[in-house]
Structure 1
Amino acid sequence: MPLLSSAVPCESPNSWIPEFHFYKPNHWINDPNGLFFFEGTYHLFYQMNPDDVVWGNMHWGHATSEDLISWEHEPIALYAEPEGLGYIFSGGAVVDVNNTSGFAKSGETPIVATFTHHSKDEVQTQSLAFSLDGGKTFEKYSNNPVIPNPGLKDFRDPKVVWYEPGNYWVKAVVAGQCVHFYRSENLLQWEKLSEFGHNIGAHGGVWECPDLFPLHCEQSGETRWVLLISINPGGPNGGSAMQYFIGDFDGRDFLVQDKDTRWLDYGTDFYAGITFDNVSEAPTQRTIIAWMSNWNYANKTPDNAWRGAMTLPRILKLVKHPHSYALCMEPVKQSEKLWSSKKSSHRVFDAPIALPDAYKLEITLEKTASETLLEWRNGQGNLIKLKIDLANMCAHFDRSEAGFDNHDFAATIDVPLLASDSEFMEITVCVDTCSLEFFFANGERTLTALCFPDSAFSELKVSGNLLSVADKTEILVSPLKK
């Protein structure tokens, strides 16, 4: 199954090119932008440098898919205006089904992209572009910017949601280390509503890429509002990360359920994620894609044939805990088509498990196996370790011996696991040539990490207090379908 049927051939000395993650050959990419679904097609826009494999000269690249897994590259959607309003920074897009913007004149459905213009003088303003052909091409709004800069250095990354009780649009824009909310009936004129974030959440760096939306919890039958915020630096394991808040939105103010800091992913390589507009499964779930990198080393990773990739698309759901709500994430169901049905099962761990280059692991651990160590190895002496300590309900990930270790890349990552009544811990790991995505306990905890070994990890060694008469520990290996 080709991931990118229009991909440009490129060379990578150590085969780090992703096999099933989206990337752009011979280019730099970062934040996903303007995600929406329309007439059977998913649209992914993203920050792209058309001239280099390091950050700069920001445009909006574009790709489309019918299944969120196989993507087609499309022409650049929004071009930078270095001598005008500026470069095209991050933002979102909405399907304006009621033509509130008035852009459609002949019955079309406008797609309205909201983005930040970043001028050569580093002034950030909020602008619009619209498409009348389903997102194939965009025209910038003639009266940009629609929200001028209020005197702030960091004022960017607009994301818009329809607020149905009030019959108007709400836009979230990050402003330093908080969020400003605006309202509009037509997407063109905006009135400021409120601010959120003062003395709440993590503040180790600048806030970026907000996303506000309602989610319905199937367990409780209640609906809560979710606010996603990326932060750089200040993540729980160094550099970039995503935090989130759960509460209620009354059309003006976001009212948080508590002041706890919650992390969407505990790895160092899940950032700037936003969700798709106009997906039918909402509001019981949202589909999210994130940039798979970290600003600590994003410009320095070792493959000059490409730089930057997206995570697997994931489903976000709201789960009820005794006194609060939380989010869980799992790969979209469409990702199952990636894996071969010829899976191998392993329950005796005296010998290492042979591994393909790209695959999915499904791990079932009995809680009686209080400590388990998984070690990925190759013939060049590279090593990745994951220690799962079920006695203390935590996991420890170590890539300090994985090959590339420059520029704060050799991180060790700690993940607090959630206690449950189940006698098993279920873990899914999606492994590509340069990344691992871990999903613990049905996605209630996740960990995303890049790795650049000298060659693919060819074996997995499993050890710990695993062996007992009633041992039900099992590891299933499903290779990538070729």
Structure 2
Amino acid sequence: MNEPTKQPAATRTAFLDSGTLLHVWLKAVVPGRAARLDLSLDGRAVASAETDNIEEFAFRVLDTTAGGMAVLTWEPQTTSLSVVYAFRPDTVMADGIMLLTHNETNAPPSPSPLYHFVPPFGWMNDPNGFGRFAGKPHLFYQHYPHSKRWNNMHWGHAVSDDFLRWRHLPVFLFPSEDISQRPDGRGGAYSGSAIAAGDGAIRVFFTDKMENREPEEQNQWTAVSADAIAAAPADLIVPRRPEGLNLTRDFRDPYVFKGPDGRWKMLLASRDREGGVVLLYETADPAGAKGWHFLGILHRENRFGMKAAECPCLVPLGHTGHSETRWALIVGLLTSRCAETGRRNLTTATVGRFDGRNFTPEFEQELDFGTDAYAFQAFSDGDVVVGIAWLANWAEISRQIDYQSAATLPRQLVLRGGSLCTPPVHSVTSLRSGMLDTQALQDGGRMDLGDGAVEILLELAAPGSAFKIDFEHPDLEFGVEQNADGLAILYQASADRTSPRYLARGARAKSLRIFLDRGSIEVFADDGRWTGTKRLRTFAAVRAGRISEGIENLTAAAAWQLRL
């Protein structure tokens, strides 16, 4: 019998400075034969990583010590690599990680979105811990490194100077050792939030989930990172659900913020037998590290056939110490469905007063009529409130298909004229790299959109003026329309089923900013009075736009190519 042909060793080469660390995930291919990755520097063997696990990739850390020309070597017959990246802890905040290798199953989208945030590899969903720490915006997010499908949860991490241009940082939180043994989706480090902990440190709050764990599948933990790169071991702070409320096992998504009384508050998402509930906790501990106790149910939502409240956040729309300050409570309604339009997984924003214990609603509106701005998380950034969301929702996602996702453009939350407006952050204008010729668009002709990364500004003759703009795309038909029903993103989710109507009923917009990127459209009407976000089902570029109806109602148009 002939022996199987031995494959040549695989290698990756890079020059690494002294003090560089490598994060490695590897898995055994053959039962009983260990996976192994060897690291040499300038021809000298210095370190190796091994695992016997054939089910899931094991995490290892290698230290280059002196630095030099590094060569990574492994045998494909016995070793599968998921991800290897390198970084220096003292410079990673400025430089980001250097990705050395990934595989086909966790590769980033190709072509990628051109100016929206995407993970460097693997799966991403909810934003977590969105905030400014040591002067810089940080974004943590739900992450599975090893494929483009949801699985056991980690926290990814990135840092920015302007909310738009992000540097990828090392993976921040990991599932427990038991959950990390196999890719069975049993749990991990679920969604949460973060607060400043002094001297550049960050304290994070998250839900630890382990399916079928007794007495609680989900409970709440906190961890501190002194360097904002790696988290110290976590502490359990809310071990179980409050008694006497008949809550289901849904008990997650801690959002921690400073209340008007100066104490730390925590929102938790849950549900009972009637619908979704938002729970309120409090601590007198200035660090937020301990002493959390339950105050009561802050908010209840049981419409639209929803399953549970998710990802709640509560932000002041003004100075927190002022008695007249309004607060915005934002909640994702898991499995909700609008009977009128067929849209799924709605997000509501309720504006009212919050005294530290009770929330008194004054009005409510939908946060995004396109619904693909889910798991929205916001924070007070000085005098403004900034939020970001997952540019998707669970309506079009399956664990059986790969799904490339992104984050929305960051948005402000502004109370104006009795409405909560969500315009994009001011820094988006820095993306404008050059104007496009809009004369064809204003004449009713075809306007070329270059590489598809575009901002289009339309001014209409009067509020509610009818118009329609169609976009030319190689894989689908979509556009934006305003008529007597309101403002809509026209989009067919798939050819074999009826698509929802992505409609802001009753909207009467006069000006629109339309942002197109590979894989998405975002519409901001009347400076965010109506906002709609839709994830497109492919990452092909939009080729052109044309005003097909209402050209007589168009009074001005401008368009810019966008670049990071």
Task: State TM-score, norm by structure 2.
Answer: 0.71
Please state how far the C-alpha of 1:179 moved relative to its aligned partner. Answer: 0.6
Q: Is the 8 A contact 1:28 1:55 kept in 2?
A: yes
Equivalent in 534, 551, 557 of residue 475 of structure 1: 557
- The C-alpha deviation readout for 1:135-160, integer Å capped at 9, x for no partner, is 22211334x14342346310100101
Counterpart check, 1:336 vs 2:439: no
Please state how far the C-alpha of 1:238 moved relative to its aligned partner. Answer: 2.0
* Aligned position for 2:188: 87
**Residues 1:410 and 1:453: Cα distance change in structure 2 (over 3 Å):** farther
Q: Letter of the aligned partner of 2:511 in structure 1?
A: E
Equivalent in 235, 238, 241 of residue 346 of structure 2: 241
Q: Is the 8 A contact 2:446 2:546 kept in 1?
A: yes
RMSD: 3.0
* Aligned position for 2:510: 425
Q: Is the 8 A contact 2:454 2:562 kept in 1?
A: yes
Q: Report the secondary structure of 1:80's partner residue.
A: coil
Equivalent in 222, 226, 241 of residue 128 of structure 1: 222
Q: Report the secondary structure of 1:78's partner residue.
A: coil
Q: Report the secondary structure of 2:510's partner residue.
A: strand
Q: Distance in 1 between matches of 2:515 and 2:400?
A: 20
Counterpart check, 1:287 vs 2:379: no
Equivalent in 124, 149, 153 of residue 249 of structure 2: 153
Q: Which moved more, 1:40-49 or 1:365-374?
A: 365-374
Q: Report the secondary structure of 1:296's partner residue.
A: helix
1:169-180 correspondence to structure 2 within 5 Å: 169-176=264-271, 177-180=276-279
Q: Letter of the aligned partner of 1:211 in structure 2?
A: C
Q: Is the 8 A contact 2:468 2:550 kept in 1?
A: no
* Aligned position for 2:166: 71
Number of equivalences: 440
Q: Report the secondary structure of 1:76's partner residue.
A: coil
* Aligned position for 2:460: 365
Q: Is the 8 A contact 1:30 1:291 kept in 2?
A: yes
Q: Report the secondary structure of 1:362's partner residue.
A: strand
Please state how far the C-alpha of 1:171 moved relative to its aligned partner. Answer: 0.6
Q: Report the secondary structure of 1:140's partner residue.
A: coil
Equivalent in 276, 293, 313 of residue 410 of structure 2: 313
Please state how far the C-alpha of 1:364 moved relative to its aligned partner. Answer: 0.8
1:259-270 correspondence to structure 2 within 5 Å: 261-270=364-373
Counterpart check, 1:49 vs 2:151: no
Query: Of the two, which has the highest radius of gyration?
Result: 2
Query: What fraction of aligned residue pairs are identical, expressed as a percent?
Result: 27
* Aligned position for 1:414: 503
- The C-alpha deviation readout for 1:456-475, integer Å capped at 9, x for no partner, is 331212122433xxx65222
Q: Distance in 2 between matches of 1:342 and 1:168?
A: 48
Q: Report the secondary structure of 2:317's partner residue.
A: strand
Counterpart check, 1:227 vs 2:227: no
**Residues 1:221 and 1:436: Cα distance change in structure 2 (over 3 Å):** farther
Q: Is the 8 A contact 2:487 2:505 kept in 1?
A: yes
**Residues 1:441 and 1:197: Cα distance change in structure 2 (over 3 Å):** same
Task: State TM-score, norm by structure 1.
Answer: 0.83
Q: Distance in 2 between matches of 1:71 and 1:381?
A: 29
* Aligned position for 1:36: 131
Please state how far the C-alpha of 1:301 moved relative to its aligned partner. Answer: 10
Q: Is the 8 A contact 1:296 1:408 kept in 2?
A: no
Counterpart check, 1:254 vs 2:359: yes
* Aligned position for 2:524: 439
- The C-alpha deviation readout for 1:381-431, integer Å capped at 9, x for no partner, is 732132211xx260232222xxx7279694431112445xxxx71000110
* Aligned position for 2:208: 117
Q: Report the secondary structure of 1:340's partner residue.
A: strand
Q: Letter of the aligned partner of 2:143 in structure 1?
A: M
**Residues 1:111 and 1:269: Cα distance change in structure 2 (over 3 Å):** same
Structure 2 alignment gaps of length 5 or more: 1-94, 180-185
* Aligned position for 1:103: none
Q: Letter of the aligned partner of 1:45 in structure 2?
A: F
Q: Distance in 2 between matches of 1:255 and 1:32?
A: 27
